[in-house]
Structure 1
Amino acid sequence: MEDTQLLKGILEGCILAIIEEHETYGYDILSQLQEYGFENIIEGTLYPVLTRLNKKKLISCRMGESPLGPKRKYYSITEEGIEWMKSFRENYQKINISAQKILFKKGE
């Protein structure tokens, strides 16, 4: 099964949850996603999501110094992003519980 559509639906929330922890930059977000098991996420997937989150005003970005080389973009969550995350978590939990009941029925 092509998991692209399923993944697309939760990727924004996962990325925003990472940014919610602390200000961070793209490569760090990508590394954290991969640590949590999103092995197939690449820069070409990540940066369009960051752009969408920024356009929705859920995150802000700034250019900052990097200890390892050229300047990089740092991302932080906005007040709108914090509110969006609250709603996302509630909705995701409801959907996940319902899907679990249907997809993994016990005794069948």
Structure 2
Amino acid sequence: MNTSWTRAVLPLCLLGVLDAEERSYGYALLGRLGEAGLEGVKPATLYPALARLEEEGAVEIEWGAGEGGPGRKYYRITDEGRERLRRDRAAWHTLHSTVASLLGDRTGGES
């Protein structure tokens, strides 16, 4: 997948994952994104995106015990984050429909 597209949709995807889970930590989020098909997201891309979401009030951070090791930063979506997810999800569907309509039949694997 195009890396600039992945970076553009990463905040939306992170909010979607965090909305589906009670809370999560960075490497678990990377795993979940990879399982969904967004392989190749690097920690150097993930953590700044999470920091921006926290600065914007969309996620909150809490420290918790690690499994047999040091503590972990856990991320949880806020009510403001859920509202942003709702708005951004609607905007994404609109964009997707517009692009699909512009591409017409050419999306069938032709190069």
| TM-score of the aligned structures, taking structure 2 as reference length | 0.88
What is the RMSD computed on CA atoms of the aligned residues? 1.8
Moved segments of 4+, more than 3 Å? none
| TM-score of the aligned structures, taking structure 1 as reference length | 0.90
Question: Residue in 1 aligned with 2:45?
Answer: 45
Question: Residue in 2 aligned with 1:31?
Answer: 31
- Unpaired stretches in structure 1, ≥5 consecutive residues: none
Q: Name the aligned partner's letter for residue 55 of structure 1.
A: E
Identity %: 31
Deviations 1:4-57 (A, max 9, x none): 332222110001111111211101000001111111101111000000000001
Deviation at 1:97, TM superposition (A): 0.6
Q: Name the aligned partner's letter for residue 9 of structure 2.
A: I
Q: Which SS does the other structure have where 1:69 is aligned?
A: coil
Q: Name the aligned partner's letter for residue 106 of structure 1.
A: D
Question: Residue in 2 aligned with 1:9?
Answer: 8
Question: Residue in 2 aligned with 1:60?
Answer: 60
User: How many residues are matched?
Assistant: 106
- Unpaired stretches in structure 2, ≥5 consecutive residues: 107-111
Give the distance between the partners of 1:42 and 1:4, measured in 2 at CA.
11
